């Protein structure tokens, strides 16, 4: 299936590891030019080399989402160097910095990071014939998950923001959707720490999913890439749950 991504410009926050990296790898393999940032220069260099193998333009910059004052310019600099922005994926999260229980960090990075990123790139997206945003939610925001913590609560307003932004930006030709993953394992991630430190909890969580396994980064990346692509041109204002049946509520 041709997703229609060849030549489009994709900007994703984060992107040097985990789901973000897997997502950009898929975009690059589909022929899209990709831009991203990360705090770790060694990871940036490694990711740039990997994405570039697909023969696309790659822009990787060092930056920190925690610096919200510098963040909008970081995004517009990437867009200018990339030659525009057709697709924006605010993926970086306080959870990736092991700050899932820090209320202020989760609010600033997950909520304000998403909002300010969308505001900064709106003029670029509006110029695109295929403008699309995919916001990263979480099943932790849609169903009770372990214990009350900042990450869970701060993902919930992003789902509301996503739906309302879709209605506001629809007349401008910009689609906005959300993807809410369930538990996902990758080396060095939160669930890798749980697997090593609390293996019984990891096994119990895996057994609870209808499909009997923890997610992989590619499982989520494929959903993000499809929703962002022109192949999904009539889909907006939706929240796609990608969790292997981990959550148990009925969706209408």
Would the pLDDT of 252 be above 80?
no
CA distance 9 to 147: 39
96 pLDDT band, cuts 50/70/90, is confident
Question: For the purposes of burial, counting CB atoms within 10 Å of the CB of 18, is it exposed (0-12), middle (13-18) or buried (19 or more)?
Answer: buried
The pLDDT of residue 241 is: 96
Residue/partner pairs of 201-206 with CB below 8 Å, 24 or more apart: 205/246
3 pLDDT band, cuts 50/70/90, is very high
The pLDDT of residue 165 is: 98
Q: What percent of the chain has pLDDT over 70?
A: 100
99 pLDDT band, cuts 50/70/90, is confident
The pLDDT of residue 133 is: 98
Q: Which domains does the chain have, with CATH numbers?
A: 9-182+217-240 (3.40.50.720)
Would the pLDDT of 149 be above 80?
yes
pLDDT in tens, 33-82: 999 999 999 999 999 999 999 999 999 999 999 899 999 999 999 999 99
The pLDDT of residue 6 is: 98
The pLDDT of residue 73 is: 98
> Between the CA of residue 252 and those of 190, 209, 238, 249, what are the distances in Å?
31, 20, 12, 10
Chain centre distance of CA 24: 10
Structure tokens at 196: 């090593």
The pLDDT of residue 134 is: 98
Would the pLDDT of 251 be above 80?
no
The pLDDT of residue 131 is: 98
Could you tell me which residues are beta bridge partners of residue 240? 179
Average pLDDT over the chain, rounded to whole?
A: 95
The pLDDT of residue 209 is: 95
pLDDT in tens, 173-192: 999 999 999 999 999 888 89
The pLDDT of residue 177 is: 98
CA distance 37 to 45: 11
4: left (phi over 0), alpha (psi -120 to 50) or beta: left
């Amino acid at each position: 299936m041709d997703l229609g991504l060849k030549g489009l410009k994709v900007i994703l926050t984060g992107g040097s590891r985990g789901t973000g990296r897997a997502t950009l790898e898929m975009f690059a393999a589909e022929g899209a030019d990709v831009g991203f940032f990360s705090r770790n220069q060694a990871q940036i260099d490694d990711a740039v080399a990997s994405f570039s193998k697909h023969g696309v333009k790659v822009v990787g910059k060092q930056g920190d989402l925690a610096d919200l004052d510098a963040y909008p310019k970081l995004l517009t600099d990437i867009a200018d160097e990339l030659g525009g922005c057709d697709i924006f994926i605010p993926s970086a999260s306080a959870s990736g910095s092991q700050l899932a229980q820090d209320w202020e960090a989760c609010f600033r990075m997950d909520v304000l990071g998403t909002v300010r990123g969308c505001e900064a790139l709106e003029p670029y997206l509006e110029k695109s014939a295929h403008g699309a945003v995919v916001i990263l939610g979480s099943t932790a925001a849609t169903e009770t998950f372990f214990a009350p913590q900042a990450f869970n609560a701060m993902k919930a307003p992003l789902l509301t923001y996503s739906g309302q932004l879709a209605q506001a930006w629809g007349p401008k030709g910009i689609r906005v959707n959300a993807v809410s993953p369930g538990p996902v394992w990758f080396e060095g991630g939160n669930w890798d720490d749980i697997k090593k430190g609390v293996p019984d909890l990891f096994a119990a969580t895996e057994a609870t999913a209808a499909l009997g396994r923890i997610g992989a980064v590619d499982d989520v990346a494929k959903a993000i890439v499809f929703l962002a692509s022109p192949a999904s041109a009539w889909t907006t204002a939706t929240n796609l749950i990608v969790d292997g049946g981990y959550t148990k509520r009925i969706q209408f």
